[in-house]
Amino acid sequence: MDGNGRWAARKGLPRTDGHAAGEEAIFDTVEGALELGIRHLTLYAFSTENWRRPPDEVRYLMGFNEGILVRRRDELNDRGVRVLFSGRRDWRVPRRLLRRMDETLELTRSNKTMDLVIAFNYGGRAEIIDAVRQLVDDLVPASKIDERALRKRLYNPEVPDPDLVVRTSGESRISNFLLWEIAYSELIFTETLWPDFRRENLFDAVREFQARERRFGEVET
């Protein structure tokens, strides 16, 4: 979900107004994903690198994410959405936010319509490192380490690899998102800034995805 700051700057507003405007984009996209019958939707909300932003913006984002959970979790629960989180629960994440995350996880845990994974304090490299640490803690011998062994130690092993990754705001980078999981994902980069993103943009991306041929290293048959 990229482009909030630029969206705000274009309107002469503070960057944080761009984040606030992203809330409507999030929930319209969730509605669109539900309409399409998408089973898993992951949103990159805060990266392990985003701590480097000015303290005021970081503080704003912590409060904003907490607020979204409080404001929207009942609605998500009513829609049958199971909310999951992906990322490091380290000391930098405010306790109050961690508590809201746990409550939301608990509230929605038996929902089956769609998983909404919120990648928060998430980094793809950190996730791989954490999985490797887990392999070591589990005393897995080197000869038994394979893709399956590592994969099941990722943050949400029950969530399949994404078929499609969409990045907004005209940047053509992955920026440490789901590094392990995107090995064979289709990537779509769109110019739309995140606060302007709506379900129609998701539908466009899915249509483009459907037109692509996926071979997974094989040849066309």
Return d(Cα 164, Cα 148) in angstroms, integer: 21
Q: In this complex, which beta carbon is closest to ligand IPE, that of residue 120 or of residue 153?
A: 120
Please identify the residue of the shown chain whose CB is closest to the bound ligand IPE: 5
Which residues ranging from 168 to 207 are in contact with ligand IPE (CB under 6 A)?
Answer: 169, 194
- Contacts of 88-96 with CB under 8 Å at 24 or more apart are 88/48, 88/121, 88/122, 88/123, 88/126, 88/130, 89/121, 90/121, 92/51, 92/121, 93/62, 93/120, 93/121, 94/62, 94/66, 96/66
Q: In this complex, which beta carbon is closest to Mg ion, that of residue 2 or of residue 115?
A: 2
Would you say the C-alpha torsion 210, 128, 113, 35 has a positive or negative sign?
A: negative
In the complex, least distance from residue 112 CB atom to ligand IPE, rounded to whole angstroms: 29
46 binds ligand IPE (CB under 6 A): yes
Residue 195 site contact among ligand IPE, Mg ion, none (CB < 5 to 8 Å, cut-off depends on kind): none
Residue 50 bears catalytic tag: yes
123 binds ligand IPE (CB under 6 A): no
Residue 176 bears catalytic tag: no
Catalytic residue among 28, 50, 176, 196: 50
2 binds Mg ion (CB under 5 A): yes
Q: In this complex, which beta carbon is closest to ligand IPE, that of residue 120 or of residue 155?
A: 120
Question: What is the identity of the amino acid at 112?
Answer: K
Residue 127 site contact among ligand IPE, Mg ion, none (CB < 5 to 8 Å, cut-off depends on kind): none
Tell me which residues touch ligand IPE (CB under 6 A): 1-6, 46, 50, 61, 169, 194
